[in-house]
């Protein structure tokens, strides 16, 4: 039986067109989220963080919260507080009564900065339209983010977006070593009122702490 080349070619072209449309749709939705987030002067939200590796029978769950204004942030996570005032990062650990102070250039490349968490995806990733889920009445559209450069630790990310509110609901990282980390955002509030000195570090509040800088 002879298979016609023309129908196969048309199917190939149609598939390319659908992929291009999906990529464009993903980019459009991500741009809408970015524009929406950029309109907020401040943001406050809680999050649940789950690290899981079924192969190693590992599952760790914890919670945190963060308040963001521009590049500045205050993060509460794993029993510690991290404050960034725009120039320095202050990591305060009550259990050890210790404070570590680092300059911006010492910390800017470590992990995902909380102030950039909601729009980190704008550079370094290719986009693919993925599944849609209904989560407690919310329409959550997932975008698959594939690193454009070789990454030995990350296969891809799944970014879940609330299509009505245009905010991020969930971020799932699929690691190359079968590790999956999931960050789910809750209690998101925009434009909260903050005191002028909210992101200012006051050493007088920690008289007995050891300061490492």
The domain total for the chain is 1
Is residue 94, in this structure, part of any structural domain at all?
yes
pLDDT tens digit sequence for 138-167: 999 999 998 888 777 888 999 999 999 999
Residue 203 included in any domain: yes
**Cβ atoms within 10 Å, residue 35:** 11
The answer to whether the CB of 30 falls within 8 A of the CB of 38 is no
Residue 81 burial (10 A CB sphere; 0-12, 13-18, 19+):
middle
Strands 180-190 and 43-53: antiparallel
Residue 175 domain flag: yes
Q: What digits encode the pLDDT tens for the residues 172-181?
A: 999 878 889 9
**pTM for this entry:** 0.81
User: Is 171 among the domain residues?
Assistant: yes
pLDDT band for position 111 (50/70/90)? very low
Structural domain contains residue 130: yes
Q: What is the CATH number of the domain that holds 187?
A: 2.50.20.10
**Does residue 159 form part of some domain?**
yes
Range of the domain at 188: 7-212
Tell whether 51 is covered by a domain: yes
In a domain, 2, yes or no: no
């Amino acid at each position: 039986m002879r298979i016609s080349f023309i129908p196969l070619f048309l199917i190939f072209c149609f598939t390319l067109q659908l992929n291009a449309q999906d990529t464009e749709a993903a980019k459009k939705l991500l741009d809408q989220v970015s524009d929406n987030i950029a309109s907020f002067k401040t943001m406050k939200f809680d999050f649940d963080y789950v690290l899981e590796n079924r192969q190693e029978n590992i599952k760790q769950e914890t919670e945190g919260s963060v308040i963001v204004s521009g590049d500045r942030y205050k993060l509460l996570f794993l029993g510690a507080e991290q404050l960034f005032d725009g120039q320095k990062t202050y990591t305060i650990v009550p259990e050890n009564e210790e404070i570590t102070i680092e300059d911006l250039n010492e910390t800017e490349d470590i992990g995902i900065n909380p102030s950039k968490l909601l729009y980190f995806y704008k550079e370094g990733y290719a986009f693919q339209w993925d599944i849609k889920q209904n989560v407690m009445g919310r329409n959550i559209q997932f975008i698959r983010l594939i690193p454009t450069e070789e990454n030995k630790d990350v296969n891809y990310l799944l970014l879940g977006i609330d299509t009505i509110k245009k905010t991020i609901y969930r971020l799932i990282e699929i690691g190359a070593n079968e590790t999956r980390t999931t960050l789910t955002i809750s209690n998101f509030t925009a434009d909260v009122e903050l005191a002028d000195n909210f992101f200012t570090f006051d050493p007088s509040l920690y008289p007995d702490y050891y300061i490492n800088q």
